[in-house]
């Protein structure tokens, strides 16, 4: 894995939420994985802690993924856009982590730590403290797109109750959350390689 692309958001229309999730966890993922450089994806929903309600974790081979003709001509939430709020797109350096490093089984969870609005220096200091109690947390620095958080901490959990939260730190903006998977882990090899444009009416804002 070269890069981890994470999209976080909320959805403000409960009556449409089930349909949106069915689209996002199905046609949307397959559409995006058919595009160049997109390698895998899994979606999650907030179970506990502090964070936005939804998180999508994509593995991409290169930042060029967001500059291809295929991506630029067909990305977005389309008719769902008015209902998607507080969304961010951040690209992180995945280092030597494998493509399956953050894949989570249906009964598992993903422990996430973010530092939205903090400087890299402050985030580094907070990370050092957190790492003492979370040695298995994988820390990824932001390298592109919105850069809402200077880094992110990710730890797949086999037991959703296995996360141990730190206490709140006064004015610090450290956010910890546990997310449960709401989709399978999908690889690009599972996506049909025919042009995805025909799904345009079904929607798709890169998220």
Predicted local confidence at residue 206, as pLDDT: 43
* Cα torsion 78, 28, 19, 108: sign: negative
Q: Does 205 reside within a domain?
A: no
Domain count across the chain: 1
Tens of pLDDT, residues 85-115: 999 999 999 998 888 999 999 999 999 999 9
Record the pTM. Answer: 0.88
Q: Does 203 reside within a domain?
A: no
Asked if pLDDT for residue 169 goes beyond 90, the answer is no
Q: Does 104 reside within a domain?
A: yes
By C-alpha distance, which of 128, 97, 103, 133 is closest to 115? Answer: 128
Q: Does 200 reside within a domain?
A: no
> For the domain that residue 35 is a member of, what is the CATH number?
3.30.70
What is the domain extent for residue 32? 3-193
């Amino acid at each position: 894995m070269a890069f981890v692309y994470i999209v976080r958001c909320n959805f403000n229309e409960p009556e449409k939420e089930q349909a949106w999730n069915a689209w996002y966890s199905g046609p949307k993922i397959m559409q995006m994985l058919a595009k160049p450089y997109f390698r895998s994806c899994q979606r999650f929903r907030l179970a506990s802690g502090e964070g936005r309600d939804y998180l999508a974790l994509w593995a991409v081979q290169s930042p060029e993924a967001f500059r291809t003709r295929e991506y630029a001509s067909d990305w977005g939430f389309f008719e769902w856009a008015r209902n998607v709020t507080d969304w961010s797109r951040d690209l992180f350096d995945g280092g030597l982590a494998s493509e399956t490093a953050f894949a989570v089984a249906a009964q598992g969870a993903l422990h996430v730590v973010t530092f939205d609005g903090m400087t890299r220096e402050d985030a580094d200091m907070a990370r050092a403290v957190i790492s003492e109690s979370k040695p298995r947390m994988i820390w990824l620095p932001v390298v592109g797109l919105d850069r809402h958080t200077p880094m992110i901490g990710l730890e797949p959990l086999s037991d959703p109750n296995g996360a141990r939260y730190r206490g709140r730190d006064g004015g610090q903006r450290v956010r910890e959350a546990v997310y449960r998977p709401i989709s399978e882990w999908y690889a690009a090899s599972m996506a049909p390689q025919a042009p995805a444009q025909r799904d345009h009416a079904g929607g798709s804002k890169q998220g």
